[in-house]
Structure 1
């Protein structure tokens, strides 16, 4: 164990400036025995730190390593398990309990004894030792290895005292004088002892020689004591004199303090009087202005404003504690209250008269605007009233009830005035708007617009189709309204006039509302911060609302109050706008396009100025109605497409709603150019074009006179041309689809029509291909009875060049009857038939070559003949 101790001291603790005092070989209780060492150590530096360190061998077993360490001050309890019997088990209670089994009871006892000594010496907080023999704690551990480790080294540590620097220098000097100080320590010690004896004798002789001097010193001390007594007597007399002076000075100081207090009181009293005079005195000029000031002249209004502000300052002055009890202060406050009430009554009566007077002047101007589509301007009224804005603010701060009464009076008066003006204004607008629906004879059309259903006769439908296809109208022409009115009934000029009227209405309303809202905000001093309701008091200095009944705060802002006043004043605008919009929609449902664009632009403009303004909110509500009418217009067009009826006796041609969609798109693109609501038009386009596609197929399936392929080909060609011309980006997919449908049905029509001029020859070769498909070899088809060479020659002879040309001529006439003139697809179809016919001819020749080899059978006409036939037939017609 000694060798292990020295190895641990050398390898682990010496590098860490620690000394190993006790060691015990242990293993954990209840587990596989993996031995380790618990070491009790102290640091060599002060303050001394005591630790319990767990050390174990490395996995390779060639050196020891430090695994864990605990401070002894963290040890709460040492449990030895049994104090009367030998038991190697013990527990150490740190932050948790560690259970150990020592290799021997002696090692355990030695380690616990060392822990007890270290605890007694270094720790204030004593560790609790449980189940430990009192003899083990009071007596030293038996002699042996553990005793020397636990006790000897610690005692040596206690007896050792470090030399200071001066002592080290003295010892080094003595050792340098004595040459053998290092080699013969005993001789050096004897020499030092002799020198010490010599020094002691010299000290004794020196003390004996100085006895006389000591007696002289004692005599001098006695004389000094007598002088001290004399000085103390003088100091006592001086102290008595100073005490008398102190009493006199205290009396003088008390007198001065009373004088100073009197001066301070007089100064404070003067300050209070000056404060009251300066802040609670209203000049006679201000009093006269409040009582008699002229509220009709600019000079008088300015004097009243200055006087009212001075009065408000006097009433709102923050009185100091006790001022309210002074009679003069009470009298001044009573005077201020009377002046406030008197001036408030005068101001309220005068402003009421101003409202009435200005109202009569404004009403007299209404007749000037009756014949014109303009609204009277209220700038003079606003300018005159704004002179009283500061007085209104004073009234708001002092007499809230009168202020609110004036605001109600103004709102009531302006409501009646604006209601008359707006009603007359919209009547003029409706008259002008209804005038756009008159015909050349001056008679009004029925106000059904394009909302009428397509229930006209077959001739009317044909007429519409011919008009829409033969003479394509520009944007200056009207839309095909697809109703009871003809296409010329509604002219683009009328719609342009309607657009100008609607724009004029919005342009007149916008500055009117903005000017009135700005005036109300300035005149009534309504900003966007929260306010107190009538009867409430201001918040306390701490920023918290006052307690009790005054703690109720209004929830709305003054901006909401402005909006409420505007809603009352202009309560008829939204109704009149909706009525005007309904009239425009009744005249022509396509007017909703103009209204949607104009209304959207004005809403966007109003929101940029003030998103929460009355104008923005009202126009936004009306915009919802306009958008609803626009959607209804689109739905009406789709419904009319679904209800269209086609004559059974005439060819179809370009369907009315196909031509109508073209003109709708041309007009819409003109209206919605650079518009904010372009997205709404794109959605409408998609709905309309899908309805057009669906109903074209529906009409094509129901058509009896015109082949289905012709109806599909012509109408989808027209749709493709329209979309290619307009270049509507959101309909690019539909444009490609229309082209695909057009080409598919063109090919289908050509293939189905070409079988008729060479009908028997087509049937013959279809039979030949059927035999080949059934497994008959191509060179053996000629051996079939129904398809031998003689039958082939017989069929070919039935189609000489003259007969073929005649058949093609009949085919051209038939195609000409099927196709309409407006699309000009006859030559396209004829050229496609030529290509298809040549392809069939080459196919027939190929079958003859493969199935009838060596027969030298050929057609009665050549490809060159065919080209000449097609060309001559096209030119002759």
Structure 2
């Protein structure tokens, strides 16, 4: 037998190459011819002639499932196989061998998923019957094993195919074993053939068929006769079966009776089951009702228990302990009982807070019991606040009255007593915690308490300041300096520097040193004691002024009340501007009136020595620069008022001194240096000694006012005698410079006036010297001025022809002016010396006079050389020698 194309390994490899990448395995590949029914019909040759194709069966394993495909491959122009069509074997519904092909090698495959069932399926023609059976058996085996279904087979006998498979299985297996293809393919095909053989015809059926065929083999001539014979025998067997069935009728009746009895029993049982079902349904409904009521009762029990617990908790909060109620309504405020009062306050604040909405559930807020209890607590709070406020007002007054009644607390004659409030503060601290709780209970109650405290303590502070100031002034020994510093009528023998008034400044400084820290500490203590939310005034270990003083010997933490904030929700200190304003208003009540005693010390010091205002101003400024805490606002205001008071008194002194200077203007005939010029130097020297740090501006303003009045008055006095005004001015300006030379080197303001006086001195000197020169040599320099004026209008050579300017006139002028030159110069010196009271100025003035005369004569000589070149006059060198010899 010729080798089948199904065993061609090259063909199988070509098919696998064509479907590479599809993850499918080729089970069988075989060459076929594709046609469309050439037998018995006429068709066009080119269209319906058979076409070579290759049919390939392939499988693909996907998990537990196996997919099988029938692939149709065709040859391309290069002879390479390429896929043409793809069918899924799970849609194969029919395998039909065509009867119009006598060879039996042509068949069709019908698929139930083809879109067009009207088109005739392709007809596949094999080379021989063996190839046909081999392909069809492989298809049926794959459908049975992989897909669990078999297509309908038409036109071929299954028994015939099974016999063919049995005969050809060994041969196929041997042929496959001898081929060079992969072992996996051979095993698969052989297994498929064996499986098809077992599935189509079992071993028992095969033996029966062989026995049957052996019985009839002798008489069979052809297949048709054998088939007819089998049909007749089948009919006979069926008739025998019917007869047997009819004979078994009694048995059937007995069976039917048994079935009827069984049916009746089943009906009875069904009726009973129906009854039981109804009863069970009713019982189920009863059970559900009982469970529902039980659940409601259980839930009600749980809710009642929770309600009882909540009510117990609420009642516990609404209960007022008898000891607290007694303490709040009628307890004593003695120091021994303060702990109980504080505990009662804490309980009351907590009880009131617990009845507020944030701490109490809103559903309880409108309950009658809660409202009544809140009203009761409010009544307790009002009663306690009223009692505590009344007690504290009386307590503050009693403390101050006790101290005022004891004279040993205050300064006495011969003994300065520094105020000591340590005992007072210690007693007040006993009730600091009570004030904290009163604030948390009712903030409005603090206003009257603060006023009562301020009113009581103000009496004590003013009494202490008054007694201290009186004794301070009485114990200070200092002689009074005259206020007539710059008056011209004062005798020259008066010694204005004789008295030492430093004790006055020391007394004022002591007053500030004692009382300013005291007032700052009292402000700080009051702010904390009366629960103002402000920062601390004095840092530990220092005073408000920044200086270590005798008042700082106390504990630096003297104002620490030893208490903490009760209400944690209160805003931190310094955050409320309203609190700060209220504090400053209270401090005004606390300290108001005490400034009068400070003013008295300032006025007393001014009467003794007005210049001590400079020292007091510096002391005040130093203390004022140290007051930076907002809560010590009144102390800053007090220091500011003191500074203004000192400045006002010093301005009063400056105004009086300026008035004394202006009174010199009334003296019509005054010669020489005015008396207030050297006195001003003495005054300025002492003022510089009194300056302490920051008083520079005050003194500079006084200098400016003094010197301005002095210069204005000097100019006015000089105008009363115009003939001697320049001499009067230069002597006074020179005296001003000489007296202030040393101070001008260190005081910028005086240096400015020194330079101003120097310029005025130079101008007065120039005017006075020019007047003396023109008086002595008037004709000579008048002739020079005329010629100089004509130089602007006519040429120099024409000037000698002008009237009064001829050469003859020049000679006459020279003869009258330069003859007796020694006498003229001596007369000029005597005139310069005449009426001068400051002899020390004469040498410098005479040098200036000679220099000015030489300059003017040199200008005259130049004019003569230019206008009268033929005339001869004394040269400048000769004139200089003559002046030098004088």
Q: Same fold (TM over 0.5)?
A: yes
Larger Cα-atom Rg: 2
CA 1:645 to 1:328, structure 2 compared with 1: closer, same or farther past 3 Å? closer
| 1:825 aligned partner | 841
Match of 2:512 among 495, 501, 506: 506
Match of 1:296 among 328, 335, 341: 335
* CA deviation after TM superposition for structure 1 residue 281, in Å: 5.2
| 1:570 aligned partner | 591
Give CA-to-partner distance per residue, 1:252-311, whole Å, 9 cap, x none: 2431332232123223312431453367453859967986667234xx433432343234
Match of 1:699 among 701, 705, 717: 717
| 1:410 aligned partner | 453
Alignment pair present for 1:305 and 2:342: yes
**Secondary structure in 1 aligned to 2:672?**
coil
| 2:403 aligned partner | 361
CA 1:862 to 1:263, structure 2 compared with 1: closer, same or farther past 3 Å? same
| 2:620 aligned partner | 599
| 1:16 aligned partner | none
Any conservation in 1 of the 2:671–2:728 contact (CA below 8 Å)? Answer: no
Any conservation in 2 of the 1:713–1:743 contact (CA below 8 Å)? Answer: no
| Structure 2: distance between partners of 1:337 and 1:629 | 59
CA 1:288 to 1:653, structure 2 compared with 1: closer, same or farther past 3 Å? closer
| Structure 1: distance between partners of 2:650 and 2:480 | 23
**Secondary structure in 2 aligned to 1:613?**
helix
| 2:818 aligned partner | 796
| 1:426 aligned partner | 469
* CA deviation after TM superposition for structure 1 residue 563, in Å: 2.7
Give CA-to-partner distance per residue, 1:742-765, whole Å, 9 cap, x none: 322222222222345556655666
Equivalent runs, 1:299-698 vs 2, <5 Å = 300-318=337-355, 341=383, 345=387, 348-349=390-391, 352-353=394-395, 355-357=397-399, 359-361=401-403, 363-369=406-412, 371-372=414-415, 375-398=418-441, 405-431=448-474, 436-438=478-480, 449=483, 454=487, 457=489, 460=490, 488-489=495-496, 493-494=500-501, 496-527=502-533, 557-585=578-606, 589-606=610-627, 608-610=628-630, 613-645=633-665, 647-654=667-674, 656=676, 658-659=677-678, 661-663=680-682, 665-671=684-690, 674-675=693-694, 678=696, 682=700, 685-698=703-716
* CA deviation after TM superposition for structure 1 residue 381, in Å: 0.5
* CA deviation after TM superposition for structure 1 residue 831, in Å: 1.9
* CA deviation after TM superposition for structure 1 residue 818, in Å: 1.9
The number of equivalent residue pairs is: 591
CA 1:684 to 1:835, structure 2 compared with 1: closer, same or farther past 3 Å? same
| Structure 2: distance between partners of 1:622 and 1:713 | 42
* CA deviation after TM superposition for structure 1 residue 345, in Å: 3.3
| Structure 2: distance between partners of 1:591 and 1:668 | 9
Any conservation in 1 of the 2:534–2:580 contact (CA below 8 Å)? Answer: yes
Q: Could you tell which deviates more after superposition, 562-571 or 783-792?
A: 783-792
Equivalent runs, 1:862-873 vs 2, <5 Å = 862-863=878-879, 865-870=881-886
Match of 2:854 among 828, 838, 844: 838
* CA deviation after TM superposition for structure 1 residue 355, in Å: 4.0
**Secondary structure in 2 aligned to 1:825?**
helix
| 2:308 aligned partner | 269
| Structure 2: distance between partners of 1:240 and 1:833 | 157
Match of 1:711 among 714, 726, 729: 729
Give CA-to-partner distance per residue, 1:400-451, whole Å, 9 cap, x none: 7875554444333223222322222333355467x64536xxxxx6xxx35x
| Structure 2: distance between partners of 1:176 and 1:600 | 120
| Structure 2: distance between partners of 1:663 and 1:650 | 22
CA 1:248 to 1:369, structure 2 compared with 1: closer, same or farther past 3 Å? farther
* CA deviation after TM superposition for structure 1 residue 516, in Å: 1.8
* CA deviation after TM superposition for structure 1 residue 618, in Å: 3.3
| Structure 2: distance between partners of 1:786 and 1:681 | 66
Give CA-to-partner distance per residue, 1:150-205, whole Å, 9 cap, x none: xxxxxxxxxxxxxxxxxxxxxxx9999999xxxxxxxxxxxxxxx987744569xx
Any conservation in 2 of the 1:371–1:428 contact (CA below 8 Å)? Answer: yes
| Structure 2: distance between partners of 1:666 and 1:268 | 94
CA 1:310 to 1:365, structure 2 compared with 1: closer, same or farther past 3 Å? farther
| Structure 2: distance between partners of 1:423 and 1:661 | 37
Give CA-to-partner distance per residue, 1:70-112, whole Å, 9 cap, x none: xxxxxxxxxxxxxxxxxxxxxxxxxxxxxxxxxxxxxxxxxxx
Give CA-to-partner distance per residue, 1:817-851, whole Å, 9 cap, x none: 42536xx4333222212322333454455556556
Any conservation in 2 of the 1:709–1:749 contact (CA below 8 Å)? Answer: yes
| Structure 2: distance between partners of 1:328 and 1:602 | 58
CA 1:810 to 1:739, structure 2 compared with 1: closer, same or farther past 3 Å? closer
Any conservation in 2 of the 1:291–1:339 contact (CA below 8 Å)? Answer: no
**Secondary structure in 2 aligned to 1:618?**
helix
| Structure 2: distance between partners of 1:339 and 1:809 | 105
CA 1:244 to 1:749, structure 2 compared with 1: closer, same or farther past 3 Å? farther
CA 1:559 to 1:328, structure 2 compared with 1: closer, same or farther past 3 Å? closer
**Secondary structure in 1 aligned to 2:480?**
coil
CA 1:267 to 1:708, structure 2 compared with 1: closer, same or farther past 3 Å? same
| Structure 2: distance between partners of 1:788 and 1:336 | 122
CA 1:790 to 1:393, structure 2 compared with 1: closer, same or farther past 3 Å? closer
CA 1:670 to 1:653, structure 2 compared with 1: closer, same or farther past 3 Å? same
CA 1:590 to 1:322, structure 2 compared with 1: closer, same or farther past 3 Å? same
| 2:321 aligned partner | 282
Q: Could you tell which deviates more after superposition, 622-631 or 508-517?
A: 622-631
**Secondary structure in 2 aligned to 1:393?**
helix
Any conservation in 2 of the 1:585–1:629 contact (CA below 8 Å)? Answer: yes
Q: Could you tell which deviates more after superposition, 503-512 or 312-321?
A: 312-321
CA RMSD of aligned residues (A): 5.2
* CA deviation after TM superposition for structure 1 residue 704, in Å: 5.8
Match of 1:747 among 761, 766, 776: 766
* CA deviation after TM superposition for structure 1 residue 384, in Å: 1.8
| Structure 2: distance between partners of 1:745 and 1:306 | 91
CA 1:389 to 1:239, structure 2 compared with 1: closer, same or farther past 3 Å? farther
* CA deviation after TM superposition for structure 1 residue 706, in Å: 3.8
| Structure 2: distance between partners of 1:332 and 1:855 | 129
* CA deviation after TM superposition for structure 1 residue 372, in Å: 5.0
* CA deviation after TM superposition for structure 1 residue 594, in Å: 3.7
| Structure 2: distance between partners of 1:841 and 1:402 | 99
**Secondary structure in 1 aligned to 2:671?**
coil
For structure 1, list consecutive stretches of 5 or more residues without a partner in the other structure.
1-172, 180-194, 212-229, 440-444, 468-485, 530-542, 544-554, 871-877
Any conservation in 2 of the 1:282–1:310 contact (CA below 8 Å)? Answer: no
Any conservation in 2 of the 1:585–1:591 contact (CA below 8 Å)? Answer: yes
What is the TM-score of this pair, normalised by structure 2?
0.55
What is the TM-score of this pair, normalised by structure 1?
0.55
